[in-house]
Amino acid sequence: MSFCIERNDSLGLIKKVENELGTIYERYDSNNKLIQRAGAIGFSKEYEGNIYYIITDLNGIKINEANRFLNYSLEKVSEKKREQAFSALKIFYSFIDLFHIKDYEKGLNNEVLKKLIGFLKGGTFSGNTLVFDFNLERKNSTIRYYLSVYRKFYELIFNIRVGPLHDRTSLINYQHENGVRKIEKYNSNPQSPSKNVLPKYIRYEEYQKILEIIDAKFNLRDRIIVMLMYEYGLRIGEVLGITIEDINFEKNKNGYYSLKIRNRITDKSFQHGKRLIVPKKIEHYFEEEYALEGIGLWTILIEDEELIEIIEEYYEEARDARILNKFKKKRDNLKYKSKADKVTDRNDLRENQYIFLNQQNYTPLTASGWGYRIKKILENAGIEIDRGTKKNNLSHRFRHGFAMKKVAEGYDEIKLYKVLRHSGPHSVKYYFNPTPEDQADMLRGQKENMEMRGLAYVTDIKK
């Protein structure tokens, strides 16, 4: 099996570039002259209630094998997994194009696979003949997932199930009632270090500092999003999918305002609420399950009147008639691209819109747009973040903070899984991530408690 890999005897540069087409790669020679532009781009389109993913080269020519895999081989898998496979294959074909890999349909040899894994890793580094400037460094779990997509792709499209990509090592054999079972690992999978350096959650004093920074340097939209994540445990996708229809601005008989989390046909995948029905047709809105708590929607009770008031204030401010009359593009984007399906019979709303907007173009705020924003907020607040990686989801650290706050309030596993809207208490342990300071506080509290009861607190055992 032979492969043709382009070699460059001089020290050149390959860098990743974001433009209107998406992510592409540019190669420069040692004189900083552009000598190659490579990549694979894609888009999705909806037809008769189904979403189709299309990948093309930079000339717009469809890559049929990739599209067949995404739209037919993966037809029965979840939309999220199809979207992840879509991203993985765009990167794969960018690699194939950039390095002029020939005969990749026959499998990947060790040399090409090693180069592919380095390409997936990203970051900024120097090779023998090239400097790579990709900025973002992917975590190992993401690389392992992409490699699993490529294995399935080769199996289903090219009928290849052996070779360096598929080679495995047996870790353990054990006896099972149905015979001997094996636990194996793929040799090409990078192993993640067990050490987790950064805290997984935002502490309360950090949260207060973040709000101060937002008030001083950012805007009302950002304050609301952070409050919803930290005070009420919303995931960022759930926040981005909120529409004006989902908020009850009047108190119920128990004195609470309420917020509904639910999925709509007009939602993008990054706006979906977890563990809720994802409707495919208008008729699904009228089915009984769509109105059931924990199946079709979640109801979040809000007692903070100030939060409700600033949501209303932001909604009106972001739709100021003076701005909309001045900028036709913003007006059109708000009217057509920010419109959401109306799923209730609320007669006080003529139409429904997503609440949180990109302030530049008045389209719904995206996950990547918010990711860039929260990174800037945390940097301004002096809170440590991963540099050039996505190892610790910045927004999810607020939800972890919400969970730790509830633990401090005395919530047990049962209460915690319910308020986190999990399927059971087994998974809430992942939200208990005390820092060394927390552990010291807990030890002090335990010591004080024992001293109050007249018991000795032993820190040393003398032999």
Residue 128 and residue 237 share a domain: no
Residue 27 located in a structural domain:
yes
Parallel, antiparallel, or unpaired for β 12-19 and 130-137? parallel
Query: Which residue, 380, 398, 426, sits at the end of a domain?
Result: 380
Residue 372 and residue 226 share a domain: yes
Residue 440 located in a structural domain:
no
Residue 358 and residue 220 share a domain: yes
Contact indicator for 64, 72 with CB cutoff of 8 Å: no
Residue 341 and residue 247 share a domain: yes
Q: What is the pTM of this model?
A: 0.58
Residue 221 and residue 125 share a domain: no
Residue 366 located in a structural domain:
yes
Residue 151 and residue 30 share a domain: yes
Residue with tokens 């909309």: 324
Distance CA 25, CA 19 (A): 10
Query: Which residue, 353, 380, 407, sits at the end of a domain?
Result: 380
Alpha helices, DSSP H, located in 318-366 = 321-326, 328-332
Tokens of 447: 């010591």
C-alpha distance from residue 39 to each of 15, 57, 101, 107, 130 (Å): 12, 7, 13, 20, 18
Query: Which residue, 328, 349, 380, sits at the end of a domain?
Result: 380
CA-wise closest residue to 459 among 447, 441, 449:
447
The CATH number of residue 208's host domain is 1.10.443
Residue 152 and residue 217 share a domain: no
Dmax over Cα atoms in the chain, in whole Å?
82
Give the per-residue SS3 of 163-198: CCCCCEEEEEEEEECCEEEEEEEECCCCCCCCCCCC
Residue 398 located in a structural domain:
no
Q: What three-state secondary structure class fits 47?
A: strand
Residue 329 located in a structural domain:
yes
Structural domains in the chain (count): 2
Distance CA 386, CA 179 (A): 45
Contact indicator for 45, 54 with CB cutoff of 8 Å: yes
Kindly report the CA angle at 80 between 79 and 81, in degrees rounded to 5?
A: 90
Contact indicator for 378, 209 with CB cutoff of 8 Å: no
Give the count of beta carbons closer than 10 Å to the beta carbon of residue 425: 15
Residue 445 located in a structural domain:
no
Q: Which residues neighbour 269 within 8 Å (Cβ) at sequence distance 6 or greater?
A: 79, 80, 83
Residue 54 located in a structural domain:
yes
Residue 353 and residue 239 share a domain: yes
Give the DSSP H or E segment for 344: none
Residue 89 and residue 148 share a domain: yes
Per-residue pLDDT of the chain in tens (463 residues, 90 and over written 9): 333 434 344 568 888 888 777 888 999 888 889 999 999 999 888 888 789 999 999 999 999 999 999 999 998 888 889 999 999 999 999 999 999 998 999 999 999 999 999 899 887 766 666 777 777 788 888 999 999 999 999 999 999 999 999 998 875 544 444 555 556 789 999 876 544 445 678 999 999 999 999 999 999 999 999 999 999 999 999 999 999 999 999 999 999 999 999 999 999 999 999 899 999 999 999 999 999 999 999 999 999 999 999 999 999 999 999 989 999 999 999 999 999 999 999 888 889 999 999 989 999 999 989 999 999 999 999 988 765 444 457 898 999 999 988 888 888 888 888 999 988 887 777 776 666 565 555 555 555 555 555 544 444 333 3
Residue 177 located in a structural domain:
no
Distance CA 392, CA 289 (A): 34
Which residues span the domain enclosing 25?
12-157
